Amino acid sequence: EGQELFVHRLEAQEGDNLTFDQVMLISKGTDVQVGTPILKAQVKATVLGHQKGDKVIIFKKKRRKGYRVKNGHRQSFTKIKIDGIAL
């Protein structure tokens, strides 16, 4: 709780409250609960904002053929803050 995470881009506005129902694993200290396949738990979170990750360069080349392609990609992320975990 209180932890800030980056997840793949979610279609939510800044300040929205989210609830994640499909929880596969919960860990608190040395106590670990693993679902088979999911646990009956809910994680409540708040959207703090959206941003992009670092640029990744993709470079393709075929030797002796003059073939070179250079592309870049920036992944979109959503920053969330975990408000609570209900078991």
Contacts 24+ apart (CB under 8 A), 33-39: 39/87
pLDDT at 63 over 90: yes
Q: What is the average per-residue pLDDT within 8-18?
A: 95
Would you state the structure tokens that stand for residue 75, as one six-digit string? Answer: 């992944």
Tell me the pTM. Answer: 0.79
Phi-psi category of 24—alpha, beta or left, where left has phi over 0 and alpha has psi -120 to 50? alpha
Distance, CA of 65 to CA of 59 (rounded, Å): 15
Sign of CA dihedral 7, 8, 13, 19: negative
pLDDT at 28 over 90: no
pLDDT at 29 over 90: no
pLDDT at 76 over 90: yes
Whole-number pLDDT of residue 77: 98
Would you state the structure tokens that stand for residue 66, as one six-digit string? Answer: 């003059």
pLDDT at 59 over 90: yes
